[in-house]
Structure 1
């Protein structure tokens, strides 16, 4: 665990594992770097992986100030600067994919290749989750909400054979105010006008059965980003990268390997 301090004075924790070309892994909303624990080793054959705890999570500072996906992207740049990494591949899932959109659009010379997983362009063009899904996540009983989130993340068959612990349900130590700040940052994301300016080779990945971040967002992103590839994983829900890691990790690695070094 290492730390750097951003230009606005926030201390950000980051983690580096493995050796080789750097791959930045960006987690979902209100989650810390443990989001990637189940699959991180898949990328270490010839790559190092870099994660961070977003402000408000993990071992990073938790200021009670407005957050945004653009600010989270600036925090990633601060970590890359601290490490002396000029260019990296970036793989963002869920809200991490929203952060990755800002990285690739606003800092094109820092992103060699881009993978956007189970994410959305946001704004008026993004496809929002259905009202019944929203209601399931706003139940008064915490155990019911947790079960609803599990069902949106994983298939019943996977849950029956994987009793946990689950690393994708949020950082349990987050203060309530930071959870609200993360929710606002994700909800206010709108990168539609930025997407045509993304120049990094891009792969869009999504589970066909994702209701948390509806699968219809995937072709929107792929059609909006010049030259982007689209891959839908049949039967996968939001946490496709974990339940379908035997498909998703090789898919991502193969894509990154095909991108020429420049």
Structure 2
């Protein structure tokens, strides 16, 4: 289990596969389980990297406040520790914000895939974001993440997700510090983020309004946007379709030469 360090904070990450690197950047509170579907599908033709944000999983949980520039520096520490020269970034929510900042400040990002991300924390519904925390309860905290249809149709999946969350999710002060990083975010000048970017957003996402995510896609020089049925974790609920889309996007911008 590799570990990187940024200013004394230990950051856990895991890798799999062999090929061009794809790095997954998590959302507020959620552990690495969030990327299980994408990770398994891509590992092989791509090298996949998943890391625990500070406050989550096996990474350190220093006292807040946290901010996106610091979290982007954490990502740089992980990639430098692993010796990554360039990487495709896939981020959700806060992770999408981190990816935007990282792409602007550092030189390793090749493409961006952003799920349920806004260019400004002012667009994020702070109450809806807090309701996603396990502190709100196992069942209640899934309401804003997954559609009722999924939860009713696949209770076994919901049970597995709940077990994974209990093991790895950030709660309490760590969740609050990550949430504050998201709500306090202001994107760098979007015209300067020139990497090819795809933005996907849930049509019923209570945390990031459709208008905010669509506006982000429109304002990126090489951005495209697409609405997806579902709520804040629509990319998990429709992982099969979106993983296929992600694979096609990565293949378009990758020569598969390591």
Shared fold, TM over 0.5: yes
> TM-score with structure 2 length normalisation?
0.88
2:117 corresponds in structure 1 to 119
Match of 2:253 among 243, 247, 259: 259
Offset from partner CA, 1:131-184 (integer Å, 9 cap, x none) = 7x47x9399x943xx434312111112111222222686866646222221121
Does structure 2 conserve the Cα–Cα contact (< 8 Å) formed by 1:128 and 1:213? yes
Match of 1:226 among 217, 221, 226: 221
Distance 1:80 1:228 in 2: 24
1:77 corresponds in structure 2 to 76
How many pairs were matched up? 251
1:207 offset after TM fit, Å?
1.8
Offset from partner CA, 1:192-237 (integer Å, 9 cap, x none) = x43211011111111222222222122211111102111222x222
Q: What are the ranges of 5 or more consecutive residues in structure 1 without an aligned counterpart?
A: none
> TM-score with structure 1 length normalisation?
0.86
Is 1:156 the counterpart of 2:148? The answer is yes
* Secondary structure, counterpart of 2:139 in structure 1: helix
Shift >6 Å, 4+ stretches? none
Distance 1:113 1:12 in 2: 23
1:189 offset after TM fit, Å?
0.8
Distance 1:110 1:129 in 2: 31
Higher share of residues assigned helix: 2
1:45 offset after TM fit, Å?
4.1
Change in 2 beyond 3 A, CA 1:114/1:138 = closer
Does structure 1 conserve the Cα–Cα contact (< 8 Å) formed by 2:119 and 2:216? yes
Is 1:188 the counterpart of 2:184? The answer is yes
1:231-242 matches, within 5 Å, as 231-233=226-228, 235-242=229-236
Distance 1:208 1:169 in 2: 24
1:44-63 matches, within 5 Å, as 44-63=43-62
Q: What are the ranges of 5 or more consecutive residues in structure 2 without an aligned counterpart?
A: none
Distance 1:28 1:15 in 2: 17
Distance 1:173 1:231 in 2: 28
Q: CA RMSD in A?
A: 2.5
